[in-house]
Amino acid sequence: MAGSAGYNRMFPVSWTELHRDARALAWRLADLGPFKGLVAITRGGLVPAAIVARELNLRLIDTICCSTYDRMERGAKVELLKGTSAEQDKGAGWLIVDDLVDTGVTARAVRAMLPEAHFATVYAKPAGRPVVDSYVTEVSQDTWILFPWDQEAVMAKTIIVKCYVIPAPKGIDSLTLAERPDPTPGPRQVLVRVMATSLNYRDLLTIEAQYARSAPKPDLIPLSDGAGEVVAVGPGVSRVKVGDRVAGCFMQRWFGGAISDSAMPSAMGGAVDGMLTELAVLEEEGVVKLPAHLSYEEGATLPCAAVTAWHALVEIGHLKAGDVVQIQGTGGVSIFALQFARMFGARVIGTSSSPAKAERLIQMGAEAVIDYKTTPDWDKEALKLTGGRGADITVEVGGAGTLPRSFTATRLGGSIAVIGLLSGMATLDPMPILRRNLKVQGLYVGSTQMFEAMNRAIEANGLKPVIDRVFPFAEAQAAYRHLKSQKHFGKIVISHA
């Protein structure tokens, strides 16, 4: 059987270990392809074969089910290969995955019938179940087993994960494609196969060494925002399971309540590695399940911008129907704030210097959009639009260049959520805060519990994030450049598929 490999693990394992083994097998076999398709020999579960097919992006062409040990002992299941697509080609270019116990019998029979096929097996032995004798003679206990023809070559293959790193933050060109060993989740951690990521302005500041909070760790994997599928879980995990569709939380250790000193050093894509990678190990309490109606690309837009907007409006502003919300520009936070405000029945006034983008905001439900270039005193115009009262909640993303006008545009006793510093930093006069009795609060994204509450609202209302453009994984630098151009409307996404 030229180029074939068999694989097994001969002690009781959990479903988590089975998924990990099947994924590891697929990645080890990847270089033997490309394959025409996959044929599964199974007792009916199809779990290992399905995982291998998914990891290798193969079609599951034929399924052969054997329901009794008698048939397995006789090797009769191999007879069922006759008539399959694989037999027509004598197995050439086909992968056959077996999750049954008589591996030795099957391997010999497959080699005789389909000499050009690749054969592999993943087996989880349930505790207390008898093992067929013919299988026991082929393997030994407590070890990885491969059949002799490819054992050295296949086991020598190290499973490698592709990721992007920032060796030193010197601009977008410093984003570097790298390889790292396959990660393993520890206690109360989960392993996520990342399917999509999205960019925030913070990511641009980080790669250009302009991020004010702290210098990034060396060889940082960037991007805080990503979504994917749980492919393995560590000991003690109960909140999610293998197969769940999840997004990572911006801060891996802020589950709920007020932000703490321990949460701050857990911000992904800055203090700790982020999501621009094929596989990411995340804390159990640092992931949330995605709303069922969202794709991975849409789910990847949520962790930073959406949670920040939710925190500003709901947690700080106590948003309710009829309130007036003032937003600035058309970045991710502002657009999510518009969507959430309209979802709650609030009125929205925006600002933008682009007529095309202003029209998009109107189409999404904004009551009015002020051009801050032609109307520099946009705060006075906002007062006029609210009958001299001002906004109940202002989502402040500009910083020193816009904050004084936000003081004026917000009603007496209103709330200003200070999120960004897009227009820079400067010394500010605090008198308007005192005179107008304003509640001005800074915020840094939000907790896992805020994320979960937001997702419930998103799912109940069928809200869809606005995506400007999706870039392939290989064009990550181009995604950064598109963000820097400021030509986007909505979120910029990178697909890892």
pLDDT recorded at residue 47: 55
The answer on 193 and 262 residing in a single domain is yes
Residue 308's Cβ-side half-sphere holds a number of Cα atoms within 13 Å equal to 28
The answer on 20 and 138 residing in a single domain is yes
In a domain, 295, yes or no: yes
In a domain, 237, yes or no: yes
Distance CA 444, CA 324 (A): 23
Are 343 and 461 spatial neighbours (Cβ–Cβ below 8 Å)? yes
Are 392 and 320 spatial neighbours (Cβ–Cβ below 8 Å)? no
The answer on 431 and 349 residing in a single domain is yes
The answer on 183 and 53 residing in a single domain is no
User: pLDDT per residue over 431-448, tens digit each?
Assistant: 989 999 999 999 999 999
| Token pair of 91 as six digits | 């197995």
Choosing from 99, 150, 379, 392, the catalytic residue is 99
pLDDT recorded at residue 43: 54
Distance CA 29, CA 24 (A): 9
| Token pair of 147 as six digits | 């059949």
In a domain, 460, yes or no: no
| Last residue in a domain, options 113, 128, 155 | 155
User: pLDDT per residue over 263-277, tens digit each?
Assistant: 999 999 998 999 999
Backbone angles phi, psi at 493, to 5 degrees: -120, 145
The answer on 50 and 15 residing in a single domain is yes
Query: If DSSP codes are grouped into helix, strand and coil, which group holds residue 168?
Result: coil
Q: Assign residue 230 the CATH number of its domain.
A: 3.90.180.10
Mark out the alpha helices in 91-150 (DSSP H runs): 103-113, 133-136
The sheet with strand 94-98 has its strands ordered as 60-65, 37-42, 94-98, 118-121
| Last residue in a domain, options 118, 136, 155 | 155
Choosing from 31, 62, 70, 102, the catalytic residue is 102
pLDDT < 50 positions in the chain: 1-14, 44, 66-75, 101-103, 124-157, 423
pLDDT recorded at residue 497: 81
In a domain, 65, yes or no: yes
Q: How far is CA 363 from CA 335, 342, 369, 463, 486, in A?
A: 12, 12, 11, 15, 20
pLDDT recorded at residue 7: 35
Burial of 236 (0-12, 13-18, 19+ CB in 10 A): exposed
The answer on 166 and 113 residing in a single domain is no
Catalytic status, residue 98: yes
pLDDT recorded at residue 299: 98
Catalytic status, residue 371: no
Choosing from 21, 98, 203, 273, the catalytic residue is 98
Distance CA 214, CA 75 (A): 63
The answer on 180 and 203 residing in a single domain is yes
The answer on 323 and 292 residing in a single domain is no
The answer on 277 and 144 residing in a single domain is no
In a domain, 191, yes or no: yes
What's the predicted TM-score (pTM) here?
0.75
- Provide the domain limits for residue 45: 8-155
Catalytic status, residue 102: yes
The answer on 325 and 293 residing in a single domain is no
| Last residue in a domain, options 155, 184, 217 | 155
Q: Assign residue 388 the CATH number of its domain.
A: 3.40.50.720
In a domain, 207, yes or no: yes
Mark out the alpha helices in 410-447 (DSSP H runs): 431-435
pLDDT recorded at residue 212: 58
In a domain, 448, yes or no: no
Are 26 and 140 spatial neighbours (Cβ–Cβ below 8 Å)? no
The answer on 136 and 16 residing in a single domain is yes
Domain count, the chain: 3
The answer on 437 and 310 residing in a single domain is yes
Distance CA 25, CA 14 (A): 16
In a domain, 269, yes or no: yes
